[in-house]
Structure 1
Amino acid sequence: MPTYPEFDAIIKDCDKNCIVKFLKTIFPGETRKGKVVGKFGGAEQKTRIDGLNILGSVTLETSDGRSKPIICCAKQMDGVLSERSSRRKQFDDSVTVLKEVFVKPYVGNGSVEGAFTQGLFFFFDDKGNFRLSLVTSEIVNGKQELNNYRRQSFFVEAGARNNTFRTRICKKIAAYEDLKSAFDVEKLSDDFFREYKVFYEDIVQYVTGARYIEVKKNKYERTEMSAPNSAIFDQFTKAYGDDAEKAVRNYVKKLMGRLVFIQFLQKKGWLGIPMGTDGWKGGDKDFLQHLFDHVSPEEQNSFVDKVLEEVLFYSFNRKESERKLKNSTLKKFKFPFLNCGLFDKDRDDDFDFALPGAVFHNKKFYDTERKAPDIKSWIKKRKPYFNDEVCGLFDFFDRFNFTIDENDPTDADVSVDPEMLGKIFENLLEDNKDKGAFYTPKEIVGYMCNESLIAYLESECPSLCHPERSASEVEGSRIRSLVVDLNADSFTEKEKETLDQKLSEVKICDPAIGSGAFPMGLLNLLYKTRLKLGVVQKNSKNPEATLKREIIQQNIYGVDIEKGAVDIAQLRFWLSLVVDEVEPDALPNLEYKIMQGNSLLESYEGIDLSSLAGEKKDRSRGKASDQMSLVFDEKQAMEQIQRDLNSFYKTDDYNVKEHLKKDINLNVKNYIKHIAPEKSKAIDALPLPNDKFFLWHTYFRDVFDRKGKCGFDIVIGNPPYLLCQPSNTDEKLLDYYRTHFEVASYKVDLFHLFFEGGVDLLRKNGILSFITPNTYLTNKYIKPLRQFILENCDVLRLVLHDKVFESAQVDNATIVLKSGKEKQHRVVIEKCENFKFKNFDLLEQSQWENDADFVFNVQKEFSIETQLKLGDIASVTFGLQTADKKTYVKESPMGAGWEACYTGRDISRYYLPNPSLYFLNEPLKVKAGGSWNMKIHHASKIVTRQIGAPEPIFALDEIGVATLNTMYSILVENKSYSEKFILGLCCSNLIKFWWLSKFSDNKALFPKIKGFQLKEIPIPKTSPIQQQSIIALVDFIIAAKKKDPTADTSKQEAEIDKLVYELYGLTDEEIAIVEGTSATTSAAKPNKSSASSQTTSISADWLQGEDL
């Protein structure tokens, strides 16, 4: 990549002159991609923000030829600019300028084509530090106003390497997509993770000799690449046996996580400060890299054992007076005491783990090739691993900027932030899909955190809410404005004190915490909201430094079955505290706040352990009932456990912590043995905590002992999605689930159980918010879960998403529930597309409660009335299934007995081409399921695909060809009805609309059609004469499609729609709703004109436009 003096100049010493030269350099004018029109260097224009002046503008073209004018502004700040100083105000000022130039366009140096909906903003100081932000927005409905402001920034620090800025923005920008890509935080994160994973795989391969190779997308196979390193691997084999490889992978994950933590910690400048220096300023922000360079070659080749472990276990985790360092280099520096569980030694840390020095730093590569290598060629070079041609781990870290402040969706630095720790963990969890674990996008996390906290405050402070909610009132409440917009102006001082008190008391839990995304989101939300209310500032001289610590200690709880997840979640909370500290302070103990355990089990070998706390919440939701009669000694033991837990939270003495942990575990075990003495030996050998069960009512007793609030205020998360089967779940555990959970039906999915368990953890009027697969909304086999929710909760919000998780083949829904029941309740129904949430209506929950199967139909109702259903006049059968499709279904006949057949992909609307497949018609040999009745297969019939679009797609098979089990056959048996007439009905807009309102499972991926649903299609009672007009139109359409499958028959189909409306007796208002042309959102009145014995629901709401 070519270098330019303008790039070096702005990095070394930023001022307005450098900025203008820099802009002229990156926007070069005429390019091969099109014209870049830059206008810089004229007189500055002032804006309404003092000192933030317009330097010029540039117009870039998008790939589709649209013009994107970009305003370019700069402001010199008072004082020294840091990564965090004045961030919010700079964002607000940028937005103010964008609004100003949008309404009153900047026209200096000539006219500008297009609207200024984006801008580049420089904020700099006189020391050479600056922030460069791209701020973008969107035009609202074509009107002269903007919304959805988003900022992406580079912070450039004088004297630092600033490699991310150099590699991503210091280059020629020829199109708008180039600029967006340069500021793309997700792309940076993807680049970082992709290369990080290669290092992880290299180290694992070096130890075990094995590597997981991607054989197809998201499918990996273990491959032996070389002999294992016996000096290291034998230690793991001796300790773990057959699980040795997994233990190595877990160790390497934690080792690399610790190294990444140090990269973040270095940003504070607390490392590399010489002993005897006062204060904690002026440290080395590349300390670890420089430390490696300064130790001996022998220590470099045993860096983990001889250097890194002393830093981790005897520096960060010991007070200065307790440190006994052996390494002579480390003795020269002081280290912050962090009191952090991440730096407690595990059993694996006692193993010798001597990696070659080239793993960490490759001087030859680093000196000759500073830029990022091509990842594909780089990976090829890395076989077998670690040589002079590839960079080391520290060299890799050196190419990226790290920010200790977590990004949010609307304001992000183009740097690696602590959320990356979560992404690393959850993407390196090789069996994450086996365990149903998926990483939740931050936009979804932010939404769920907002809605949970709003629901909690509205429940706790009803006087501040609307008693009867209209759609506008729901979205315009004062509490919503406080939480979402951080606007507290409408509250009195007394109301602010009430709100702050409620926020200080809230108890929040994620029972499947993963890497901590949801509790981290609520931590930041609570922090910002309470600061905005201003109450904490009255009671504390330095609330910013103490408030986060208070929230973590008083409000946040979490559990996960994976120890690695717990480690990462704790780590993110510690980093969230470090970011606000001016000088290092001992971090709080989180080992009994964020814990390992099986959230679904509070029992061991059939023993109910919830009784350890003396009280357990029963199924009446929020009430407590005595589980056992406690004698004095038992009560005393339980109180001692609680005293030890309280002491553990407060101490920062390493030896005291270790002593308290032993006492807590011993007392818990003794208590279990008292209940089940026959299990004493097994209990003595049982590690605590573990992945077998979790003692909710023991470890989190402070939550369940609250007067009048027995349980959590908010339970939030993304529980695992896993269909439990003998292949992945112990049979005894499956039996336990079926006997102890109301929602467990013949199919047991973990997320169903988490719904029940989550509600059980709530106090009365507590809030639950989960994102899960949406299958439970309509699937008839998941009726017990829907019934459980409706009988025990009010549904506050239901959000239907398009694809959320790249690696999960499911469609998702977010639900917000409140435990307990109100007499009348309305549900907010929303849709989320591309992570943008769209509120569209309120729905009576009673509509679901009154349904025989408790189906969560998200449509409003109006009804048409018919005397018949399709099942009354026709048979509906599934296609045939062969034993081995690869053997018995082919694209051409293989000999005698082979017969043509249709499969689902053959079907187009109305039209069937020639069959595309052949099957062996020998039922005794190949039959595996479905219908093999050849009288049906060889008859003239209507056919439809099993996978909808999302509604069924119908066509006519007039010649009688067999169908595979990807299709249904509809054989009209009542001779009063023509199959072409029925085909016209089934293909009409009205039946499509009816279908989506009644049976849509809200799946974008593979929406399945069921036979019983087809039988429900309403059929009007008509004479043969009344059918003739539709039959004629169907004949025309089929003939046209046979001649040309792409023929436009929309005119004839519209005529059929009109005739169908008449047959069903729809009013003009009802037709407008079906056609999506009415603005009304009220339910239309039922048509009473025809005699009826059955009523069918039809949506009157959001299925419009493309949805139809």
Structure 2
Amino acid sequence: MDKQQARKLIKQTFEQPFEKTRFTTLIKNLLNRCEEAPLSYKGQYIPDAYKPYISALDRIGKFHDGEHAVDILVIKLKKETSLERARTMQRNFVAWYLNGSRGDKLKDAALVAFVSPEETDWRFSLVKMDYRFEQTKTGKMKVKEEFTPARRWSFLVGTNEQSHTAQSRLINLLANDEQTPTLAELEEAFNIETVTTEFFLKYRDLFIRTKEALDRVVRGDPRIEAEFEAKQVNTVDFAKKLLGQIVFLYFLQKKGWFGVGRDAPWGTGSRQFLRELFEQKHGRYGNFFDDILEPLFYEALRNDRSHDDDYYSRFNCKIPFLNGGLFDPIDDYDWVHTNINLPDSLFSNQNRTAEGDIGDGILDIFDRYNFTVKEDEPLEKEVAIDPELLGKAYEKFNAIRPDNFEEYKQVLRSGKKGDENKFNKQFGVYYTPREIVHYMCRQSLINYLHTELGKDIVTHKKLFEKQTTMFGNQAKRGQLDCTIEYKLTPQISRKDIETLIHLGEQVSANEARVENKGKETVTYSYKLPESIRKNAGPIDRKLADITVCDPAVGSGAFPVGMMTEIVRTRNVLSTFIQEDKPTPYDLKRRCIEHSLYGVDIDAGAVEIAKLRLWLSLIVDEDDIKNIKPLPNLEYKIVCGDSLLGYPYKPMGLDEVEKLKEQFLEEVNPKRKKELRNRIDAAIYGLFKNTEKSLGYQVTMDFRTNFSEVFRTKGGFDVVVANPPYVRQEAIRHLKPKFKKIFKDFYCGTADIYTYFYKCGVDLLKSNGHLCFIAPNKFMRASYGKNTRTLLTTRATPRLVIDFGDLPIFDATTYPSILLIEKRKPDGRDKAVTATFTDASQLAKLEDSLLDIAFLMPVKALSKEGWNLERSDVLSLMEKLKKIGVPLGEYIQGRFYRGVLTGLNKAFVIDAATRERLIAEDPASADVIKPWLRGRDIRKWKAEWAGLYVINIASSSNKTWPWSNVKTEAEAVRQFEETYPAIYRHLAPWEKELQKRDDQGKFWWELRSCAYYEAFEGTKIIYPDISQASKFSWDQSNSYLGNTVYMIPTDKLWLVGLLNSKFIWWYYSNITSTIRGGFVRFFSQYMETIPISLISDSQKTSIIERTRAILAAPGSPAVPTLEAEIDQIVYVLYNLTPEEIRIVEGVN
């Protein structure tokens, strides 16, 4: 089958209602080898828990890729169950079938068509099991007796969907008639990340074209130019917002909320409403943006027309009133009296794309993709564009401003990989992968619940009539309920809470089945622990009452993640609570309005965070008669600087808190404005003169803006964030302010994320929990001492994960996850600790932790530096600290760095240039020295590349004929006379040499250096960065580049010791690893290497072997000689056999 035929087959199958024959044809061509194996489950063969959702299962075939068994299924949903509802039940039903169902063999995966009887759309899914096996007493392997998770990836297909994405992902497999696809290849075809990346690149191009189109319109119309200047509107932010608004509407039109007939219910509108608007099916226009989009945004969606059944006469249909702030004109520009006539071709045209499609306008590109309002979850992924894209777009575009837009375009045109990420470094914004977000949110919830419910659980008991007499006549019968505390034994254990959070949703169908039966049977039994079932009410109340803050909210990934986990868990608990079951919409709205708070310095980020929360609500809005206006989140997700807070305790905010509650639900624009003015006057009035009184402008303050949290709880239950990664060099302008605000915590060389740790701890209530993903540098860097002290004195670390240089983000940031509880350690506390070293471990983060994590005493996390190691390693490290003397003391601190010339192309020369200069003037030989670079250093002996350096020491260090002359001109003349050939060589670079920071008294001199004589002596040299020990013995009088260090010494045995396996092990444990497994050989760490007392015979033994290696460094005998040195060193440090195994990495 060629690609044209494959594309046609996909369109015929996936752009139509489900038809079994077409589907079977596609499957046979996709798999090439598919065994027909009809089987049907219906009626009594469907388990009770799934009967409300599933009417039948039909197997149409089986497939085997040589290793994995895959079944082909058609699952027919019940009439009352849409494709969007009960996704967990659908996935779990397939898991039940694959996991042996009625005694059948285990299957690895299934390709499934989910079909709803009343819908013309259907879902094509890959469901894959994640079996975990254990060994029985007889040695056989069996599936572990736990609920085995299934993962589902899906294409939404059918009448209302485009098949562009399915074509791009499946066409190569369909066109390959020769080979049978593997399960891994099928999984890759359902890879959402590839689709998202492809779409983002097109979105980025649209952003650039939209911005440039706006520029042309503004320049061509003085009225628009004046309006934008007066309102401080810039075209970069206008373009960002416009694309965000259109994307938002693409998500919403999937709900069928637009173009609804006047007497028709919500949900019956067109799924291609924006395209219909462009094609003038809802009214004619002169310009699409000015006549259609602006009225849609700023009139139809922004104004409440509930008095007229939401009818919008301009388009002759119903349009929902959405409230919120997305559809307020940017910076309140006058959209009515300005004619922003963006070309219609920006939105749709007939241009042919590189892929051969027709049309590269905004609508053309968006139309080709599937949009889903539901954000992906760990076990449920839609192969479509979801709201997370808004976060990724924010992360990429956040640093693009009017003043660097042209530079950004040039970088894109250059095509240099990674250059685009440089823009993000300025603001330190890196988007957190969703798997990491879900993991951090789950861990935060587990620790919150364990802290809250580890206390005595409160139950309620009604007082009897005799007991009420103690309250006198005021207490009437039935009027008074008192709360008393009972200790429940056992209390809810951490393990039980983990089971609820990790497995609750997966086992929810099973739990509902048992509850409905009223008892456990041989066939059906509870999967959740009794402590969870019996205390579902108290647990649910804790989740309903939780308060969460992200002080660097960005595009809202963590608030959305926390909401998802809270709602999912509360939904599970509702099975055991004898009350009316709340809908997912009710649970989400409660969580958004009561529990979630966020702050970001970037206004665009705040808008996107609110947008994602609104979208999460919309996905579960099922009231087709009355769509509820979105809540106003202006005082929940706030724009401001989290670190520059108000130092005084705010007073008298009770009235403001009441106004904010009213504002949250207010829909009348006039009333909203009145409330906003009153709230802003009370809050921001406090900050009005802070620039003058405090020396910095306060733009928000947590205790003021979120006073209700501190009044009722004293702080937040959970603070979770990915704080910005901005290096200290880029925040010089903030340092005076930070010094004033953070006082003793302040460190002049600290990166900005450390201050977020201090801020986060201050925001927590007692026993609250903080969970950050941030650079690991604070663990060992000297600037991190205050942070380490804070996190181990005012708080107790619960989880410490170091990812080293693994690619969590697009850029190298050396991230770590830290979860702490705000209470002082009690001396017995332990933290779950892990260091990830392999990128493959990231695919299944939580499973990998089961293998590599260990418990580490919190008291071992020293303020001097954190070394994440097991107790046996820490014991050995502690032992070594007491042996001999530190290297720094032994060599009297003589760690010397190589020469920083400031312009290597002028000073560093090859052998031919040296010979020419000496031929021109023999005196040149006096100042031309052998030169070694970092790349030349090898273990034991450097490999010289034949380079030299022109070494003219600073007049501060050596007296030259020109050193004490009165004028620059005279000095130049003296230099030219003394070394004429050298002068002629350096003169062409005079201007560049004069601009150097690193120079001596004159432009031809090297910077001042007090140890020049050390270069021309015996020394140990080593590179500043390496993946292994590379200490070299040097007697060549070579000068060194600035990426090489030296230790002046004649002790040959010392180079043998430093190159030993033991010293490398020690050094690796006291430094941070950077990308590629490299370590930096900084003096602050080198000086701590313990040098044991060594006998003459031991020195001799090491020296003999070192000399043998130096004599023939390439000899096959070298590994044997190195091993012998290792054994001598083990004896020297008195290592036990167990300690030697630790050093050699033997488990």
What's the offset of the Cα at 1:565? 0.6
* Alpha-carbon distance between aligned partners in 1 of 2:396 and 2:723, rounded to the nearest angstrom: 16
The 8 Å contact of residues 122 and 158 in structure 2, kept in 1 or not, is answered as yes
What's the offset of the Cα at 1:993? 1.7
What's the offset of the Cα at 1:1057? 2.2
* Alpha-carbon distance between aligned partners in 2 of 1:2 and 1:691, rounded to the nearest angstrom: 62
User: TM-score normalized by structure 2?
Assistant: 0.77
Q: 2:267 aligns with which of 281, 287, 309?
A: 281
Q: 1:930 to 1:535 in 2, by over 3 A?
A: farther
* Alpha-carbon distance between aligned partners in 2 of 1:103 and 1:903, rounded to the nearest angstrom: 68
- For residues 520-573 of structure 1, what are the alpha-carbon distances to aligned partners after superposition, in whole Å with 9 as ceiling and x for unaligned? 100000000111111796443543231110111110011111111111000111
- For residues 743-785 of structure 1, what are the alpha-carbon distances to aligned partners after superposition, in whole Å with 9 as ceiling and x for unaligned? 2212242211111111111111111111111110001132122
Match of 2:35, SS state, is strand
For structure 1, which runs of at least 5 residues remain unmatched after alignment?
A: 29-37, 62-66, 107-115, 210-225, 379-388, 466-472, 615-634, 684-689, 1079-1108
Aligned residue identity for 1:575: L
Q: What residue number does 1:400 align with?
A: 369
Instruction: Report which stretch shifted further, 986-995 or 503-512.
Output: 986-995
Q: 1:478 to 1:777 in 2, by over 3 A?
A: same
* Alpha-carbon distance between aligned partners in 2 of 1:755 and 1:678, rounded to the nearest angstrom: 27
Q: What residue number does 2:884 align with?
A: 867
The 8 Å contact of residues 429 and 724 in structure 2, kept in 1 or not, is answered as yes
* Alpha-carbon distance between aligned partners in 1 of 2:708 and 2:208, rounded to the nearest angstrom: 43
Q: What residue number does 1:335 align with?
A: 319
Aligned residue identity for 2:1070: K
- For residues 471-518 of structure 1, what are the alpha-carbon distances to aligned partners after superposition, in whole Å with 9 as ceiling and x for unaligned? xx9997111111122264432554211111111111100011000000
* Alpha-carbon distance between aligned partners in 2 of 1:489 and 1:453, rounded to the nearest angstrom: 18
Q: What residue number does 1:645 align with?
A: 660
Q: What residue number does 2:895 align with?
A: 876
Match of 2:326, SS state, is helix
Q: 1:233 to 1:249 in 2, by over 3 A?
A: farther
- For residues 984-1004 of structure 1, what are the alpha-carbon distances to aligned partners after superposition, in whole Å with 9 as ceiling and x for unaligned? 322222212212223346765
Match of 1:3, SS state, is helix
Q: 2:642 aligns with which of 587, 599, 609?
A: 599
Q: How does 1:132-281 map to 2 (within 5 A)?
A: 132-136=124-128, 145=143, 149-170=150-171, 171-172=174-175, 174=179, 175-176=181-182, 178-208=185-215, 228-230=219-221, 234-235=225-226, 238-239=229-230, 247-275=234-262, 277-281=263-267
Q: 1:2 to 1:102 in 2, by over 3 A?
A: farther
Q: 1:715 aligns with which of 719, 724, 742?
A: 719
Q: 1:325 to 1:822 in 2, by over 3 A?
A: closer
Aligned residue identity for 1:961: S
* Alpha-carbon distance between aligned partners in 2 of 1:283 and 1:408, rounded to the nearest angstrom: 28
Q: What residue number does 1:630 align with?
A: none
What's the offset of the Cα at 1:88? 1.2
Q: 2:290 aligns with which of 305, 316, 328?
A: 305
* Alpha-carbon distance between aligned partners in 2 of 1:946 and 1:400, rounded to the nearest angstrom: 50
The alignment covers a number of residue pairs equal to: 955
Does 1:1053 find its partner at 2:1122? yes
Match of 1:417, SS state, is coil
What's the offset of the Cα at 1:831? 3.0
* Alpha-carbon distance between aligned partners in 2 of 1:916 and 1:57, rounded to the nearest angstrom: 67
The 8 Å contact of residues 156 and 370 in structure 2, kept in 1 or not, is answered as no
Does 1:661 find its partner at 2:653? no
* Alpha-carbon distance between aligned partners in 1 of 2:264 and 2:1073, rounded to the nearest angstrom: 65
- For residues 124-160 of structure 1, what are the alpha-carbon distances to aligned partners after superposition, in whole Å with 9 as ceiling and x for unaligned? 3455543222234567689655977532111223453
What's the offset of the Cα at 1:434? 1.2
Q: 1:195 to 1:910 in 2, by over 3 A?
A: same
* Alpha-carbon distance between aligned partners in 2 of 1:1041 and 1:345, rounded to the nearest angstrom: 72
Q: Of the two, which has the highest radius of gyration?
A: 2
What's the offset of the Cα at 1:237? 5.8
* Alpha-carbon distance between aligned partners in 1 of 2:709 and 2:631, rounded to the nearest angstrom: 19
* Alpha-carbon distance between aligned partners in 1 of 2:559 and 2:296, rounded to the nearest angstrom: 29
Q: What residue number does 2:354 align with?
A: 373
Q: 1:566 to 1:672 in 2, by over 3 A?
A: closer
Q: What residue number does 1:131 align with?
A: 123
Q: 1:915 to 1:1017 in 2, by over 3 A?
A: farther
Q: What residue number does 1:482 align with?
A: 500
* Alpha-carbon distance between aligned partners in 2 of 1:940 and 1:534, rounded to the nearest angstrom: 77
* Alpha-carbon distance between aligned partners in 1 of 2:554 and 2:775, rounded to the nearest angstrom: 17
Q: 1:390 to 1:494 in 2, by over 3 A?
A: closer
Q: What residue number does 2:522 align with?
A: none
What's the offset of the Cα at 1:651? 1.9
More strand, by proportion: 1
Match of 1:284, SS state, is coil
Does 1:847 find its partner at 2:833? no
What's the offset of the Cα at 1:422? 1.0
Q: 1:734 to 1:554 in 2, by over 3 A?
A: same
Does 1:702 find its partner at 2:708? yes
Q: What residue number does 1:567 align with?
A: 607
- For residues 869-921 of structure 1, what are the alpha-carbon distances to aligned partners after superposition, in whole Å with 9 as ceiling and x for unaligned? 33344342221211223433356664444433222222233342123643221
The 8 Å contact of residues 314 and 325 in structure 1, kept in 2 or not, is answered as no
* Alpha-carbon distance between aligned partners in 2 of 1:1009 and 1:991, rounded to the nearest angstrom: 13
Match of 2:199, SS state, is helix
What's the offset of the Cα at 1:823? 1.5
The 8 Å contact of residues 1062 and 1129 in structure 2, kept in 1 or not, is answered as yes
Q: How does 1:1057-1076 map to 2 (within 5 A)?
A: 1057-1076=1126-1145
Match of 2:931, SS state, is strand
* Alpha-carbon distance between aligned partners in 2 of 1:233 and 1:952, rounded to the nearest angstrom: 65
Match of 1:968, SS state, is strand
The 8 Å contact of residues 20 and 41 in structure 1, kept in 2 or not, is answered as no
Q: 1:915 aligns with which of 935, 945, 950?
A: 945
Q: What residue number does 1:955 align with?
A: 1032
Match of 2:175, SS state, is coil
- For residues 411-466 of structure 1, what are the alpha-carbon distances to aligned partners after superposition, in whole Å with 9 as ceiling and x for unaligned? 2100000111111112111254212111111111111111111111111111599x
Q: 1:1073 to 1:474 in 2, by over 3 A?
A: farther
Match of 2:384, SS state, is coil
Match of 2:748, SS state, is coil
Q: 1:807 to 1:691 in 2, by over 3 A?
A: farther
Match of 2:5, SS state, is coil
Q: What residue number does 1:121 align with?
A: 112
* Alpha-carbon distance between aligned partners in 2 of 1:729 and 1:815, rounded to the nearest angstrom: 27
Q: 1:343 to 1:494 in 2, by over 3 A?
A: same
Aligned residue identity for 1:499: I
* Alpha-carbon distance between aligned partners in 2 of 1:893 and 1:326, rounded to the nearest angstrom: 86
What's the offset of the Cα at 1:49? 6.8
Aligned residue identity for 1:867: G
* Alpha-carbon distance between aligned partners in 2 of 1:678 and 1:805, rounded to the nearest angstrom: 42
Q: What residue number does 1:622 align with?
A: none
Q: What residue number does 2:823 align with?
A: 820
Q: 1:1036 to 1:46 in 2, by over 3 A?
A: farther
* Alpha-carbon distance between aligned partners in 2 of 1:95 and 1:691, rounded to the nearest angstrom: 56
Aligned residue identity for 2:326: L
* Alpha-carbon distance between aligned partners in 2 of 1:1055 and 1:321, rounded to the nearest angstrom: 87
Q: 1:1068 to 1:374 in 2, by over 3 A?
A: same
* Alpha-carbon distance between aligned partners in 2 of 1:259 and 1:188, rounded to the nearest angstrom: 19
What's the offset of the Cα at 1:730? 3.2
Q: 2:733 aligns with which of 730, 737, 757?
A: 730
* Alpha-carbon distance between aligned partners in 1 of 2:492 and 2:1032, rounded to the nearest angstrom: 45
The 8 Å contact of residues 882 and 926 in structure 1, kept in 2 or not, is answered as no
Q: What residue number does 2:88 align with?
A: 88
User: TM-score normalized by structure 1?
Assistant: 0.80
Does 1:20 find its partner at 2:18? no
* Alpha-carbon distance between aligned partners in 2 of 1:295 and 1:121, rounded to the nearest angstrom: 37
Does 1:1022 find its partner at 2:1108? no
Q: What residue number does 2:1000 align with?
A: none
* Alpha-carbon distance between aligned partners in 2 of 1:514 and 1:699, rounded to the nearest angstrom: 18
Match of 2:555, SS state, is coil
Q: What residue number does 1:470 align with?
A: none
Q: Percent identity between the aligned chains? A: 27
* Alpha-carbon distance between aligned partners in 1 of 2:939 and 2:129, rounded to the nearest angstrom: 41
* Alpha-carbon distance between aligned partners in 2 of 1:189 and 1:1070, rounded to the nearest angstrom: 49
Q: 1:964 aligns with which of 1041, 1050, 1058?
A: 1041
Q: What residue number does 1:888 align with?
A: 907
What's the offset of the Cα at 1:180? 3.5
Q: 1:354 aligns with which of 341, 360, 366?
A: 341
